[in-house]
Amino acid sequence: MSAGQAERSGFSLSWLWRPGRRHAAPIMLLLLLGFAAPLIAIVGFSFGRERTFALWQTPTFESYRTIVEETFYYSFLWSLGMAVATVVILVLICYPVAYGLAKIFGRWSNLITLLMVLPLFVSENVRLYGWVLFLIKGGVLLGTLKSLFGIDAESVLFTPGIIVFGMVYVYLPFMLFPMTLGLSMVSREVKEAASDLGASRLQVFREVELPLAMPGMIIGCLLTFVLSVGAIAEAKVLGGQSVIPIVHDIEIAFTYAQNWPLGAALSVLLIVLVGALVLLVLRRFDLDRILGRR
Amino acid sequence: MAIQGERVRSNLVVVWTAAIILFLYTPLLTGLLATLTSSRYFNFPIQKWGFDWWGKTLKSLEIHALFETSLLIALIVTAISVLIAFFGALAFARYEWRGRSIYQKIVLLPIFFPQSVLGLALLLWFNALGMETSWHTAVFAHLVWVVPVATLVISIQVYSFDPALEEAAFDLGASRWQVLKEVTLPVLWPGIFSGALFSFLLSWGNFPLSLFTTGADTTVPEYIYAKMGVGYTPAVPVLGTISTIGAAVALLGGYALILIMRGRRTAARGTA
Amino acid sequence: MQQYNQTGPVLMSASVRSPILELKGLTKQFGSFNAVAGIDLVIGEGEFFTIVGPSGSGKTTLLRMLAGMEVPSSGDILLKGERINDLPANKRPTCMVFQSLALFPHRTVGQNIEFSLKIRGEPEGRRRERCFHLMRQLRLPESYYDKAIAQCSGGERQRVALARALAYDPQILFFDEPLSAIDYKLRKALEKELKDIHRETGKTFMYITHSLEEAMVMSDRIGVMRDGRLVQVGTPNEIYTEPSDKFVSEFMGEVNVIDVRRGDAGRVVSDSLGETFTSPPLPPGFETGHLVVRPEFMRFLASGDSAENRLTGRLYNEYALGSRIQYQVRVGENVFILELLRQRAFRANLDDEVTIGWDSPNSILVRN
């Protein structure tokens, strides 16, 4: 492709295509130093001896053995389970909104999108803490119930359910926007054509709308799944440590336990898990098509 | 009849969307409520309303320092991020080159990565390099996550950019620098602006990366996190509300600015 | 010498057919805007009816109402005598070929064509049989059955869209300018092909386009639409020879239009040319209007030639249009165009003084 273009644009225009690589260089350098290198470092650490803080030493599998022998799989399972629950709930609650943004709201879409984006820029701690104040005993919800109706209910805080609630809350935009992008790729005419050919509303949805919106929805699911697996704040702030997600284990290993190799090994497992999933799904997508065609 | 069903469905979607927006804003509004009490602890319904904690918080020197650190980090991150992301976006969406498809996926990877793990990995890496963590290292950590997002935001604008414009300007005798200044930058400006806004706001609100990479320095989100439990005073929601309002002003102001610029441009075209 | 009122091939006049579709005062309002403003029309079974109009004339809205994608504000749509205003698109025995074709990009050629059969729950064997039959009829190679839509050329996509609509076995097929995005040569070929398909299937076709030329090639009858109304309905020949007004005559293609007013002795006067012309008989009450002369009915006059009307000007330019040559003659500020067959080309130099003329039966008098 690039060679063909070069020939077409002739020698004098050759700089127009060559800069591809050159323009990619700064960001690639940044990611090499700030993303690839730390990941390699973490892999290096994971083979270190327990409670050591140096990178260069004879590799051992001690930390991995510890992980297998102890009950860390419990945290992994909790994290994965809560992530799956979060994704499923998000698909259900985001679909109508995404549909509205793509097809119904018209010129209001921009404003509504803006309203949905805004909370993203407030640190998730602040927002989750808002929920604590809302849900806590003597907070907005229970305080109102008590003073107005005399109902003395128990707080839903510090349960696994509320952690999923928090993750649904925090990651909602990450499902909503890719989904909207996907749905806006389904043209009205294609759906009309299906209906014109005799398809019922349900059939139009199943045969045309859903398959065409799929790329956006899969991106949304992937994004929210990965973010949920890596979530920690929800469990800490709302869950009150009723559940220890995997990232919390990692943090404990790095901080209180001062066992960096163990934390690194847990991180490596998490990264391998998430990375494999991301690469598997992303490989099947043509990003130009999803992002470029609006 | 068909149109009736359509309308009912549209109304349901509108109501649902309104509910979701309310859902998104409930904790922010709760935070605002929590600032309006005169007492030390939050109890609802509020017994003694007052702005006392706003005054106390705004006067606190400690909090001034927090805002300075957060602002400094966010501004530096924005400047560097836009520069890198602008070129990154051209490589992402504008140029055809071998390796572009892989490049696009590499750029997306950090966005799909758990930030707290990234923060820890960076901490490890800085340690391995023998670097002391401070707000400087936090800037770098933010960049790793913010630059890919900004690249993506600018790329969306670049996709709608017709490369023939650059070729035409070049054909009309413009130098490479003039093409950039007279054609590429003005056309891509809304995307670049959005990228800058995103960079600033994402850095401003970031917690998981800051937590592990600021060392002795503290940003606003970190401070709030530290004071959430035992150290709670209404100063915590005051800080949260201030940063919410700050983000809202930046975002809405930026959006209004884009609308105004666009309006002015169409007006100019109309009279021409 | 050519004359108007020549008769083209008459296939079947509309009055002989039994009506399939009746529109009564059909209106669509968007806010206060009348997109379609009271249309009365009867379409016969098996007819190829084309609606022609410029963009914004309301023709797409009209078609969308007929197909069930837009609900009329008032008026009725009767299909074989039954009111179908409220019947949704998926319940109507009609089918549309969209301007964008609206092919399902995630389905193969075969899956697209079989879509309605699958929806109807027909067994796979029957679906496939019907699909291959249609592919043969539309000259799509069988190997295309598993081809992705993205791999098909423009013309092939047209055929897939048509096959998909035909597979539904509709009583009426609607076409929303499906050929507008196709290059000239292919479009010409597809126009003829469509007319052949119409003949083979015997179905009622209703077509909309902004190109009267396209309409002329294919249609049994044409309705010219403007500002939500039907300005004229008639056979291609009627529209061509007796346009009801200046709009229709100009829509027919390049014509010479002279603004005129009633003169003495059944003649008309052009103030801009300062001339008096012999025209067809003035309709009663005619005061001002336009004298329309087609380029092929104007001729260059040599010194001895006679003509009822004549003008002298300068030859400004000439254009080769394939089998014909077009000439532009300027008389003062006024521009006239003439067309001659190539073998009868007029020999003169640019800027030469030339005399042009025409006879009154070859002109048409239309009101404003």
Helix (H) or strand (E) holding C161: helix C154-167
Residue C226 region by backbone torsions, left for phi larger than 0, else alpha for psi between -120 and 50, else beta:
beta
The confidence score (pLDDT) of residue C16 equals 59
Q: How far is C318 from chain B (nearest CA, A)?
A: 33
Sheet order of strands, C229-234 included: C94-97, C172-176, C204-209, C48-52, C221-226, C229-234
The confidence score (pLDDT) of residue B4 equals 65
Contacts of B101 in chain A (CB under 8 A): 287
The confidence score (pLDDT) of residue C9 equals 43
Contacts of A291 in chain B (CB under 8 A): 93, 152, 155-156, 159
Q: How many CB atoms lie within 10 A of CB C361?
A: 16
- Is residue B251 scored above 70 in pLDDT? yes
The confidence score (pLDDT) of residue A294 equals 35
Q: How large is the average pLDDT for residues A99-106?
A: 89
Across C240-301, the runs of DSSP E, i.e. the strands, are 256-262, 267-270, 275-278, 288-293, 299-300
Average pLDDT score, chain C: 89
The pLDDT tens digits of the residues spanning C253-286 come to 788 999 999 988 888 999 989 899 998 888 888 8
Q: Are C189 and C109 in contact (CB under 8 A)?
A: no
Q: Whose CA is closest to C368, among C223, C260, C274?
A: C260
Q: Is there a contact between C102 and A193 if contact means CB atoms under 8 Å apart? A: yes
The confidence score (pLDDT) of residue B266 equals 66
- Is residue A4 scored above 80 in pLDDT? no
Q: Which of C88, C102, C165 sits opposite A190 (nearest CB)?
A: C102
Return d(Cα B202, Cα B85) in angstroms, integer.
14
Question: Cis peptide before C72, with omega less than 30 degrees from 0?
Answer: no
Q: How far is A104 from chain B (nearest CA, A)?
A: 7
The pLDDT tens digits of the residues spanning C72-100 come to 999 999 999 999 998 888 889 999 999 98
Please give the structure tokens belonging to residue C81. Answer: 């005598």
C100 touches chain A (CB under 8 A): yes
Q: Is there a contact between A121 and B251 if contact means CB atoms under 8 Å apart? A: yes
Residue partners of B181: CB distance under 8 A and separation at least 6: none
DSSP annotation of C253 reads S
Please give the structure tokens belonging to residue A181. Answer: 């992008």
Q: How many CB pairs under 8 A join B and C?
A: 6
What burial class does residue C62 get, using C-beta atoms within 10 Å of its C-beta: 0-12 exposed, 13-18 middle, 19+ buried? buried
C181 touches chain A (CB under 8 A): no
The confidence score (pLDDT) of residue A204 equals 92
Strand C74-79 with C19-30, pairing: antiparallel
- Is residue C3 scored above 90 in pLDDT? no
Q: How large is the average pLDDT for residues B108-137?
A: 88
Contacts of A189 in chain C (CB under 8 A): 98-100, 102
Contacts of A30 in chain B (CB under 8 A): 84, 143-144, 147
Q: Is there a contact between A196 and C90 if contact means CB atoms under 8 Å apart? A: yes
Q: Whose CA is closest to B241, among B220, B259, B262, B272?
A: B220
Return d(Cα B93, Cα C301) in angstroms, integer.
63
A neighbour chains, 3+ CB pairs within 8 Å: B, C
Q: How far is C101 from chain A (nearest CA, A)?
A: 8
Q: Are A237 and A246 in contact (CB under 8 A)?
A: no
Sheet order of strands, C363-367 included: C275-278, C267-270, C256-262, C288-293, C363-367
Confidence of residue C45 (pLDDT cuts 50, 70, 90): very high
Return d(Cα A264, Cα A160) in angstroms, integer.
26
Q: Is there a contact between B13 and A294 if contact means CB atoms under 8 Å apart? A: no
Instruction: Give the angle subtended at the CA of A100 by the CAs of A98 and A105, to the nearest 5°.
Output: 130
The pLDDT tens digits of the residues spanning C222-248 come to 999 999 999 999 999 888 888 888 888
Return d(Cα A48, Cα C252) in angstroms, integer.
86
Q: Find, in chain A, the residue whose alpha carbon is nearest to that of C106.
A: A212
Contacts of C88 in chain B (CB under 8 A): 2
Q: Is there a contact between A116 and B24 if contact means CB atoms under 8 Å apart? A: yes
- Is residue C65 scored above 90 in pLDDT? yes
Q: Are B84 and A30 in contact (CB under 8 A)?
A: yes
Strand partners, C311: C356
Q: Which residue has the higher pLDDT, A14 or B192?
A: B192
Q: How large is the average pLDDT for residues A128-140?
A: 86
Return d(Cα B70, Cα A117) in angstroms, integer.
20
Q: Is there a contact between C102 and A207 if contact means CB atoms under 8 Å apart? A: no
C127 touches chain A (CB under 8 A): no
Confidence of residue B127 (pLDDT cuts 50, 70, 90): confident
Q: Which of C106, C164, C168 sits opposite A212 (nearest CB)?
A: C106
Q: How far is A290 from chain C (nearest CA, A)?
A: 14
Q: How large is the average pLDDT for residues B128-137?
A: 90
- Is residue C205 scored above 70 in pLDDT? yes
Q: Which of C90, C96, C104 sits opposite A200 (nearest CB)?
A: C90
Q: Is the pTM of this model over 0.90?
A: no
Return d(Cα C110, Cα C147) in angstroms, integer.
8
Confidence of residue A56 (pLDDT cuts 50, 70, 90): low
Q: Is there a contact between A197 and C116 if contact means CB atoms under 8 Å apart? A: yes
Q: Is there a contact between B98 and A2 if contact means CB atoms under 8 Å apart? A: yes
The confidence score (pLDDT) of residue C11 equals 46
The confidence score (pLDDT) of residue C1 equals 39
Low-confidence winner among A195-204, B248-257, C58-67 (lowest mean pLDDT): B248-257
**What is the C-alpha end-to-end distance of chain A, expressed in Å?**
24
**Mutate which of C86, C90, C91, C92 to test chain B, going by most B C-beta atoms within 10 A?**
C86
B3 touches chain C (CB under 8 A): yes
The confidence score (pLDDT) of residue A212 equals 87
What burial class does residue B23 get, using C-beta atoms within 10 Å of its C-beta: 0-12 exposed, 13-18 middle, 19+ buried? middle
The predicted complex's ipTM stands at: 0.85
The confidence score (pLDDT) of residue C4 equals 45
A84 touches chain C (CB under 8 A): no
Return d(Cα A56, Cα A74) in angstroms, integer.
31
- Is residue C336 scored above 80 in pLDDT? yes
The confidence score (pLDDT) of residue B16 equals 96
Q: Is there a contact between A131 and B252 if contact means CB atoms under 8 Å apart? A: no
Residue partners of B135: CB distance under 8 A and separation at least 6: B69, B72, B73, B214, B215, B217, B219
